[in-house]
Structure 1
Amino acid sequence: MQSSASLLQRQKLSMVASPQLIESIRLLQLAHAELHQFVEQELEKNPLLEPASNDGEAFGDVLPNSGEDQYIGARENDVARPTMAGSPERLGEWKSLRNTSNNPPGNRPAFDEFAALTETLHDHVARQIALTALTPQERLIAGQLAAHLEDTGYIRANLLELAESLNIRGADVARVLGTLQHFDPPGIFARTLSECLEIQLRQRDRFDPAMAALVANLEMLARRDFQALKQRCGVDEEDLLDMLQEIRALDPKPGNRFQSGASESIIPDVWVMPSPGGGWQIELDPDTLPKVLINQSYVAEVSRRAGQNSKDMAFLNECLQNANWLIRSLDQRAKTILKVATEIVRQQDAFLEHGVAHLRPLNLRTVADAINVHESTVSRVTSNKYMLTPRGVFELKYFFTVAIASSEGGDAHSAEAVRHRIKAIVAEESLDDVLSDDDIAVRLKETGIDVARRTVTKYREAMNIPSSIQRRREKRLWLNGDQGLKAS
C-alpha cells in the first residue's frame, strides 16, 4: 500500500474564550470584598479609570458611546405573585430600586443599630483590676496573669515560670491568682474545668463534701456512671439529681459571654423587603457594588498630547478598551445577581411569608431556565453571596435544596423543610414517647413526606441530634427527677 502526503483546507467553527471573557466569568463568583480588591488593582493599573463619587452615580452611567442608562436598578418588573393557600391572591411588585431616593430610608435595615461596641473580657478584667486595692507588686502580677487569660476565661500559664520571670515568690503569684478568681464573671482565672466549677460553687456557698466529690469525678459524669457517682458522693438518687442540676446551671466557659474583639459581620449583597403594595422589593446593596468611571477629560487631554505617536495611541486605546470592559463586566455582574435573586425570591415566596417549613425544593437549572442563562452562571452567582430577608441573612445557596417526594402525590418537600420538621418532632417528644428513626419516618409519612429511615438518620446526625436511646437517657436524667435515675 503506497502512502502519500497532501494539503487540505477545512473550515471549522469553534468557540474560544478570550482572556477578558474568562475574567468576566470569574467576576461573577467573587465576593464583594474580593471584587473591591480586584477593582482597586484595576484602578492602579489603568490611568483612565477613577472611582465614582458616592452620590448615587452608578458605574454604568458613564459608559462611553452609550446614551442608555446602564444602572442595574433602572427597570421595574411587575410579576404575578404566587397564590398561597390560606391567603388572598394579589399582584406582587418585584422591584429593583435605582437609589435611596426611591426607597425611603426608614424601609432599609439600619445595620449600625445591631453593631454596638461591646466590652471584651480583657477590658472587663482590666477595669476590675483597676478598682481593686492592690500593691504595686500585686498589680504587676495581676497584669501578667490577665495577659495570659484566654477568651474562654481560663488561664494556662505556668505559675512557677511566671514567678521566676518576675523574680518573685510563687506564693505571691498564687495569692494574686486567688484574688482574681473572685472577679466577675464567676469562674474566670480557673486552670481546669473542675477548678472553674469549684469557684462558681464556692461563690454560691454550695461546695460541700458531696459536691466536691462530684466535681473531682467529672469523668464519671461524662460516662454517665450514675451508680458509681452515688457511691463516691455518698448520696441517694434524689440528691444526686439535684446536684447534677446545679452543675448544669454553671458556666463551663465563663469568658464566652464576652466578645474577644470586633466581630466580622456578613454584608448582604441583596436586600429583600416587603413592598407597601404587596410582594417584595429586591435591591442590591450599593456598598457591595464598586463604582468606577472613565475620566473623559483626561482621555481627551492624553489623546491630544499623544498626537501621531502610534505607541502612545496604542497604549491609550488598550487602556480605554480595558476600562470599557471593566464597566460593562461590573454592570453585567450586578444585573445577573439581581436577576438570580429576583427569581429565587419568586420561587421561595412561601418561605419569606411562613418560614422554613414552606421552603420549596429548588435547583440551579430551574432558576437558569427562568432567567435564560446557563446553569453554571447561576452556580457562580450564588457562591459567597448573601441575601437579607425579613427572616434573617441567608447565603443564596441556602435556597437550593433537593426534593423529598410527597407520600400523597402532591408537591415535593425540600430537604431543609424536612430537617426542620424532624427537629420539631424531636422537640415535642416526652419521656414516655421517645421516637426511633423508624417512628419519625412514619410520622413524616403521615404528614405527607415520603422519606426512608436511613434518610432520617442522616439528617438527624447532621443536626447533632442524639439517638433515641441517648435522648431517653437525657430526659430521664433532666426531666423526670421524681422517678430517679435508672441505669440504662
Structure 2
Amino acid sequence: MQPSVSLLQKQSLVASPQLIESIRLLQLAHAELHQFVEQELEKNPLLEPASKDDGSFGEVEGPTWSGSPDRLRQGKSLPNGTSTAPGDRPALEEFVALVETLHDHVARQIALTAFTPQEQLIAGELAAHLEDTGYLEVSSLELAGSLNVRVADVERVLETLQHFDPPGIFARTLSECLEIQLRQRDRFDPAMAALVANLEMLARRDFQALKQRCGVDEDDLLDMLQEIRALDPKPGNRFQSGPPETIIPDVWVLPSPGGGWQIELDPNTLPKLLINQSYVAEVSRRAGKNSKDMVFLNECLQNANWLIRSLDQRAKTILKVATEIVRQQDAFLEHGVAHLRPLNLRTVADAINVHESTVSRVTSNKYMLTPRGVFELKYFFTVAIASSEGGDAHSAEAVRHRIKAIVAEESLDDVLSDDDIAVRLKETGIEVARRTVTKYREAMNIPSSIQRRREKRLWFNGEQGLKAS
C-alpha cells in the first residue's frame, strides 16, 4: 500500500439554523408560539404586531368542503350567513368563572376557628403542606420538629382541621380520608372499619373475603360498597388548583350552509406581524452603505422576512392537514365515534404532498373544535382493524367504543368472556383476536367477565333485598 492524495466530491444535506427553526415552529402549541414571537419582537426592532385591520398574516381563509374532493372551495360564511371574523366568535375565556382555591377555602376556615396564637401557627403550617388533592404531605413528627412544638399539639390541631370542609381533607392516606368522611356521617362502625382497612381486597373485588373479614352478608356488604362509592377519594379536586385553563382550538370545523364542513384556523392562535417600513426607510437614510448600522439593519430585515414567511407557511400547513383529516373522517363528524376510520400519518402526508414527519409535528399539541367536541388532531389517527366481511377496515377507537357498548348491554345471565366479545365483534364485521379484546378492555379499566358477573350478582341480590323489604 502506498500513501496517496485524492480529491473526493460528495453531496450532503445540511439543515440551516433557519430551516431548523422553521421545523420547530410547526410543532409549537399556540401558547409556545406566541411566547416565541414575543421574544422575536423584543430582539428585532423592525418587527411590530399587526392590528386586526391590517389584513396581514393570520387572516388565512379556510376551505369549505361539501363532502366531495372535487367540491373544495374557499369560503368564510357560517350557517347563518354571517362573517367568521374573530370578533364574531365567542371568547372561550369569557365563560370561565373565577373559582376559589382549596387553600383559600381552608385559610378562611382557619381564620374563623378559635385557635390560640400557637395553634394558629401550627394550622397555617399544616395548610401550607396541603396538596391540591386535599392530602397532607408532611408528618406530625416532622412538623413538630421544624416548629419546636410537641407532637401532641400538632395532632390536636390536625384533628380540628380534619373536621373542615370539604370532608376528608388533611388525611395522610386514602384509608384515613375515607374514615374521616364516614365518621362525619356517623357510619364508621366495626364492619366499615374492617372494610376501610382492607381496601386492597376491594380493589381486587374479592367480595367473598371481604364478607368474612367484615362479618357481614352480601346485602350488608352491598350497602357498605354503595356508601364507599359515594365518598370522595380526592376531596381537594373539586377546587380550582390554579388559574383557569382553557383549551383554545387551533382549527374550527363548522357545518357549511351548502352541506359538508367549513374548516378555518382560529385567528386568536395566529400571531400577526408586520415589518415597520417607515423605520427601515429612516435607518437606511441615516446609515452609510458599509456601516455597522446597515449590516444590523439587513440582518434584522432578513430575519423578519423569514419569520413572517415561516408563520404563514405554518398556518397553511396546519390548514392543509386539518382539511385532509376532515375529508378522511367525515363519517365521524356526521355519525360519531363508531364511524371513525383508521388513518395513519402517511395517508395524510401523501394526500397533501408533505413528509410524514411534517404531519406528525403539525398534529402535536394542536386541537380541533368540531360539532362533536374538541379533539387533539392526533385523536383522528388510529390503527386499522381488519373487517371480517372484506370491506373497509375499522379504527381501533371505534372497536374500543363497540366493546364498551357490548359490555354495557350485558345482563346477569349473559356476561361475556373476551372470546365471546370477539365473536360478537366478528358478527358485526370486526375481525379481532381475543387478546386484542383483552388489551382494549383492560386499557378502558373494564373488569374481567368473572369480576363483572360477581358485581352484577351483588347488585342484583341487593336490589332484590330492597324490593322485599
> Which TM-score applies when normalising by structure 1?
0.83
1:355 is displaced (CA, Å) by 1.3
For the structure 1 residues 182 and 237, does the alpha-carbon distance in structure 2 shift closer, same or farther, using more than 3 Å as the test? Answer: same
Please tell me whether residue 57 in structure 1 is matched to residue 54 in structure 2. Answer: yes
Is the 1:92–1:277 contact (alpha carbons within 8 Å) kept by the matching residues of 2?
A: no
The corresponding residue for 1:459 is: 440
Please tell me whether residue 128 in structure 1 is matched to residue 105 in structure 2. Answer: no
**Deviation string, structure 1 residues 141-161 (Cα, Å, up to 9, x no partner):** 332322222222222433345
User: What residue identity is the alignment partner of 1:49?
Assistant: L
- In the TM superposition, what are the counterparts of 1:59-458 in structure 2 within 5 Å? 59-60=56-57, 73-74=60-61, 77=63, 79-82=65-68, 95=75, 102-103=83-84, 108-163=89-144, 165-309=146-290, 312-458=293-439
1:239 is displaced (CA, Å) by 2.1
Is the 1:93–1:280 contact (alpha carbons within 8 Å) kept by the matching residues of 2?
A: no
User: How many angstroms apart in 1 are the aligned matches of 2:211 and 2:139?
Assistant: 35
For the structure 1 residues 417 and 228, does the alpha-carbon distance in structure 2 shift closer, same or farther, using more than 3 Å as the test? Answer: closer
> Which TM-score applies when normalising by structure 2?
0.86
Helix, strand or coil for the counterpart of 1:23?
Answer: helix
User: What residue identity is the alignment partner of 1:356?
Assistant: V
Helix, strand or coil for the counterpart of 1:407?
Answer: coil
1:131 is displaced (CA, Å) by 2.8
The corresponding residue for 2:32 is: 34
**Deviation string, structure 1 residues 133-177 (Cα, Å, up to 9, x no partner):** 444444333323222222222224333454455455544433333
**Deviation string, structure 1 residues 429-452 (Cα, Å, up to 9, x no partner):** 222222122111111111111222
Greater shift in the superposed pair: 30-39 or 443-452: 30-39
For the structure 1 residues 46 and 398, does the alpha-carbon distance in structure 2 shift closer, same or farther, using more than 3 Å as the test? Answer: same
User: How many angstroms apart in 2 are the aligned matches of 1:226 and 1:378?
Assistant: 50
For the structure 1 residues 180 and 23, does the alpha-carbon distance in structure 2 shift closer, same or farther, using more than 3 Å as the test? Answer: closer
Is the 1:269–1:288 contact (alpha carbons within 8 Å) kept by the matching residues of 2?
A: yes
Helix, strand or coil for the counterpart of 1:332?
Answer: helix
User: How many angstroms apart in 2 are the aligned matches of 1:2 and 1:155?
Assistant: 77
Helix, strand or coil for the counterpart of 1:47?
Answer: coil
1:322 is displaced (CA, Å) by 2.3
Is the 1:52–1:291 contact (alpha carbons within 8 Å) kept by the matching residues of 2?
A: yes
Percent identical pairs in the alignment equals 86
User: How many angstroms apart in 2 are the aligned matches of 1:207 and 1:133?
Assistant: 27
Superposition RMSD on alpha carbons, in Å?
A: 3.4
User: How many angstroms apart in 2 are the aligned matches of 1:167 and 1:311?
Assistant: 65
User: What residue identity is the alignment partner of 1:41?
Assistant: Q
For the structure 1 residues 363 and 56, does the alpha-carbon distance in structure 2 shift closer, same or farther, using more than 3 Å as the test? Answer: farther
The corresponding residue for 2:43 is: 45
1:201 is displaced (CA, Å) by 1.9
Give unmatched runs, 5+ long, in structure 2: none
User: How many angstroms apart in 2 are the aligned matches of 1:465 and 1:308?
Assistant: 74
User: How many angstroms apart in 1 are the aligned matches of 2:5 and 2:119?
Assistant: 96
User: How many angstroms apart in 1 are the aligned matches of 2:453 and 2:38?
Assistant: 58
1:469 is displaced (CA, Å) by 2.4
- In the TM superposition, what are the counterparts of 1:12-23 in structure 2 within 5 Å? 17-23=15-21
Count of residues in Structure 1 that have an aligned counterpart in Structure 2: 462
For the structure 1 residues 436 and 50, does the alpha-carbon distance in structure 2 shift closer, same or farther, using more than 3 Å as the test? Answer: same
For the structure 1 residues 26 and 478, does the alpha-carbon distance in structure 2 shift closer, same or farther, using more than 3 Å as the test? Answer: same
